Structure 1
Amino acid sequence: MTTAVHPVDQILSTRQMLTLGLQHMAVSYIGAIAVPMIIASALKMSQADTIVLISTTLFCSGIATLLQTIGFWKFGVRLPILQGVAFSSVGPVIAIGTNPAVGFAGVCGAVIAAGLFTLLAAPLVGRLRRFFPPVVTGCIVTVIGLQLFPVAYDWVGGGRNAANFGAPSFLLVAAVVVATILLINRFGSPLLRNLAVLVGMIVGTLLGCAMGMGNFHGVADAPWVTLPVPFHFGVPVFAVVPALTMIVVMIVQMVESMGLFLAIGDIVEKPIEEEEAINGLRANGLASAIAGMFAAFPFIAFMENVGLVVLTGVRSRWVVAVSGVLMCLVALVPKAGAVIAATPTAALGGAGIAMFGVVAAAGIQTLARVDYEHNRYNVLIVGFTIAAALVPVLAPTLFKQLPDWSQPFLHSGVVIACLVSVALNLLLNGTEEAHVPASVVRTAGRA
């Protein structure tokens, strides 16, 4: 008797793997290069070093994605997770890089040290898996979708720094992308529905370019080929304070990653057990150690791609693995990456509205399966968690007067959602409720 292959483990046709993998890479590319561009600007790097930093970050992002999706031995959570640089590392990296005593070599050393720390700490953090029942994972997924809406709105308006933010032309492009995605999902073939976001972005890009959007000057300036090599910025410098700073960042990211692994497992209907969560955290540690050698930064799951998984219903981790390979290849050809980066922001915004919306909807689906009638405490857990987790989005200055050591934990709505929901569940429901298995969530928009 043959055992049915779980949709997460299915290998699709070559054409589907390539086109869907390209779609995943396209929706994540802007976010993937944003952090190295911000850091390079803050550290006043030359154009050549900036190109190197972007290429190494993309290259290591692809490696991190392969570690999580395919995995080996005791590394990798083996879910459709595309890895990208966490924005929570920007501030510490800039602070370390501007320290004349260590420079950017100190950043590399700190990232390597933090990655090794994560490898050692993964089994300890992974044991917390039992404290994430459905009421907790549902809160986390819902918060993920809600906290990403401001990002999508910024894109729809043409970018936060756009001089004519919210111009009708930007809104029109975003609306056309949304309409294209909806029409394809309603009338398109199964394959076309799976590619609805990519097609919508292409349509939006063509319309935007016809209206004068999209800056292709960077394409001409970008080199054809670059080769990421380790220790480009010199031998890593290992200093105590920078290493401890980055370790704090990684502790925060481990908490966030734990919540993300379990939440994504619910979304794709493959609940994650303790050992699998530990393997995912180990992969994060190994990827960060490799990133430090290549002058890149710590990685975490990109929620744009989780939204794409929900929207298309294609849950294969091998599709996302292909996108990891494509990111490695694009890292070698900066000119190709510059073409993708020239996508009008408004077109990306239309796609973001669709993707982030279905992530929030998936969280609501999980919360709908929670028992509120016989357990009134669950209402309190959901209400207080969402109220606390949206503070960084709706009132970002509210926690600024609190001690410096607490800021990394209060910067991310997902981290707050993890901490508050777990704490309230233990306080109100006790440890018995924490052992309830993760619920099965039926993904939206399945083809």
Structure 2
Amino acid sequence: MSENVPANTDLLYRLHDRPTPIKAFLGAIQHVLAAFVDIITPSLIIGGTLGLGEHIPYLLSMSLIVSGVATFIQTRKIGPIGSGLMALQGTSFGFLAAVLTAGFVVKNRGGGPEEILSVIFGVSFLGAFVEIFLSQFITKLKSFMSPIVTGCVIVTIGLSLTKVGLTDLAGGFGAEGFW
């Protein structure tokens, strides 16, 4: 690509420009706070839906710790592991339905919060190895995943989260009778 950028662009900074330290700091804080919400929200949904009560702070702490460790590994690039780029890692909304289903299976069989957490962590641990195995074949799977397919999946996930977002915007599930 050419380094020549038109003079009338809307970009604040070009490729090799550096913002002032205060602007960089404020941008970093904004980025961390935006990521913080995405990292803790799945834990809040899981804990609230499964009635884990006093275990929710534990879920939040584990989400933040694992996100930090995964970000560190991704950034440092140790051998073939990691990208070597600053890529924030966090929890995913994509597995929310599977985690809630596993939790409800245990809860319906009379399991308490400790058993629910054990199953969730165990399934997540084993599922990580499935993802690691499948990642070896991602280049072969690209031919099946056109931009239309991946776009539809992302839109579907976004639409499924709309109810949760709008409910939280209106005051949460406890405010349903208020409106």
Same fold (TM over 0.5): yes
Q: 2:70 aligns with which of 55, 61, 64?
A: 64
CA apart distance, 1:68:
4.2
Superposition pairs of residues 45-444 of structure 1, within 5 angstroms:
45=52, 47=54, 49-68=55-74, 71-77=77-83, 78=85, 80-86=87-93, 87-95=96-104, 97-98=106-107, 100=111, 103=115, 104-136=117-149, 139-140=151-152, 143=155, 147=159, 150-163=163-176, 164-165=178-179
Distance in 2 between the 1:50 and 1:35 partners?
Answer: 11
Residues 142 and 88 (structure 1), Cα distance of their counterparts in 2 relative to 1, 3 Å cut = closer
C-alpha root-mean-square deviation of aligned residues, in Å?
Answer: 4.1
- Alignment map for 1:1-80 (pairs within 5 Å): 14-41=21-48, 44-45=51-52, 47=54, 49-68=55-74, 71-77=77-83, 78=85, 80=87
CA contact (8 A) 2:63 2:90 kept: no
Q: Is the 8 A contact 1:65 1:82 kept in 2?
A: yes
Cα separation, 2, equivalents of 1:22 and 1:136? 34
**TM-score, normalised relative to structure 2:** 0.59
CA distance change for structure 1 residues 10 and 140 in 2, over 3 Å: closer, same or farther?
farther
- Cα distance between partner residues in 2 of 1:160 and 1:42: 10
Alignment gaps of 5+ in structure 2: 4-13
> Any gaps of 5 or more consecutive residues in structure 1?
166-447
Is residue 36–residue 54 contact of structure 1 (8 Å, CA) maintained in 2? yes
- TM-score normalised to structure 1 length: 0.29
Report the Cα offset of residue 128 of structure 1. 1.4
Q: 1:115 to 1:155 in 2, by over 3 A?
A: same
Q: SS state of the match for residue 84, structure 1?
A: coil
Deviations 1:118-162 (A, max 9, x none): 22221123421244455555x348726962655554444333542
CA distance, structure 1, for counterparts of residue 167 and residue 122 of structure 2: 34
Q: Deviations over 1:7-41 (max 9, x none)?
A: 5x998665444322321232343443333234334
- 1:112 partner amino acid: F
Relative contact order (alpha carbons < 8 A, sep ≥ 6): 1 or 2 greater? Answer: 1
Q: 1:41 to 1:23 in 2, by over 3 A?
A: same
What is the SS of the residue equivalent to 2:101?
Answer: helix
Question: What amino acid is aligned across from residue 67 of structure 2 in structure 1?
Answer: S
Rounded Cα–Cα distance in structure 1 between residues aligned with 2:143 and 2:73 = 24
Cα gap change, 1:160 to 1:109, in 2 (>3 Å) = closer
Number of corresponding residues: 158
Indicate how the Cα distance of structure 1 residues 13 and 90 shifts in structure 2: closer, same or farther if over 3 A, else same.
Answer: farther
Native 8 Å contact 1:43 1:94 kept in 2: yes
Q: 1:97 to 1:155 in 2, by over 3 A?
A: same
Secondary structure class of the residue paired with 1:76: coil
Sort the Cα spacing of 1:26 and 1:38 in 2 relative to 1 into closer, same or farther, 3 A.
same
d(CA) in 2 for partners of 1:96 and 1:88? 12
